[in-house]
Amino acid sequence: MAKKKRGRPPGSKNKKSIGKSVATMDVSQLRAHIDSLQSVLAKKIHEQRAYFEEQLARLDGDASKRVSTAVKAVTPAKRAKAKPKYQSKKNKSLIWSGRGVTPVWMREEMKGTKLKKEDFAIKR
């Protein structure tokens, strides 16, 4: 496993001081100094961009792994469709698996009779 780098990204610390006083330079010296500073700045920007893109890629990889495991944990398992356990006595096409609320057809057939839920059970 690679050792993690900590602290500031490369190129963020000033390593050299300017040395010359900008106020005493003539125009051609200032132009040369500005050009050298622009090239140093471009190099540091490139280094920092590479560093941050590497960090972002590492975070994206970790995050995608965490998200996929979290999604798997939250997603409920699929159940197979329940087989019917009960069937209407009046209309054989009305069936019920026994899950959830008692269907209206069963309540109406039981109303005013001595029929119970077990009387509607499908015999196999």
Per-domain residue ranges of the chain: 23-74, 86-120
**Average pLDDT of span 40-64:** 86
Evaluate if residue 122 carries a pLDDT over 80. yes
Check pLDDT > 60 for residue 16.
Answer: no
How far, in Å, CA of 29 to CA of 61, rounded?
A: 48
In DSSP terms, which residues pair with 86 in a beta bridge?
Answer: 96, 121
**What average pLDDT does the chain have?**
83
Q: How confident is the model at residue 6 (pLDDT cuts 50, 70, 90)?
A: confident
pLDDT given for residue 19 in this prediction = 55
Pairwise CA distance, residues 85 & 103, whole Å: 13
DSSP character at residue 47: H
pTM surpassing 0.75?
Answer: no
Over residues 63-107, the pLDDT tens digits come to 777 777 776 777 777 778 889 999 999 999 999 999 999 999 999
pLDDT at 80: 85
